[in-house]
Amino acid sequence: MSSESDASKNSRNSQVSIHSLHSQGTVDPTTLKKSRKPSAKWTLDEETASIDFLLSQFSASGDGNPRKAAFNEAATLLKKKFPKALGAEKTGDVCRSKWMVLKAAYHAVVDIENTSGFTWSDDQGVGVTLKHNDVWE
């Protein structure tokens, strides 16, 4: 049996956790930008190759997204097909992130197309004109 009471242990543990929450000083915004990892730069050809490959693997997906292995395979394909790609390496995680961003943009366009009073054109984007001003009121 320990000589230290439960109340004493809890008090000491609380003090430790309180101290761990204290700030280590002010954050310099210029340091944050420098410590940020470089981002991958995607060309239209890279996006197209990635999407085409991932869609070809779609039958093996379970939740509406390709499996992790498919993203890793897409990264390997991109390295082979585009050996002089710009920006950071396009890993499986980077490919997954790009897929999620493009998927969200796609769903936003579909929502616009299906909303009364809005139009969508691949050339012009969303058709917002004064003619549809009543939609905003």
What angle in degrees, to the nearest 10, is found between the helix axes of 68-81 and 44-56?
140
- Say what the pLDDT of residue 104 is: 93
3-state secondary structure of 65: coil
> Quick one: average pLDDT of 105-132?
77
Indicate the length of the chain as a whole number. 137
pTM metric for this prediction: 0.64
User: In angstroms, rounded to a whole number, what is the distance separating the alpha carbons of residues 110 and 112?
Assistant: 5
Residue 135: the pLDDT is 59
The H-or-E segment that residue 6 falls in is helix 6-20
CB neighbours of 120 closer than 8 A, spacing ≥ 6? 109, 112, 113, 126, 127
Task: Tell me the pLDDT tens digit for each residue of 61-85.
Answer: 667 789 999 999 999 999 999 999 9
The average pLDDT across 32-59 equals: 86
The pLDDT value recorded for residue 113 is: 82
Answer whether residue 44 shows pLDDT above 80. yes
Answer positive or negative: Cα dihedral of 15, 16, 18, 19. positive
Cα-based distances in Å from 83 to 52, 77, 118, 136: 18, 10, 41, 47
In this structure, how many other beta carbons lie within 10 angstroms of the beta carbon of residue 109? 13
* pLDDT (average), residues 13-25: 51
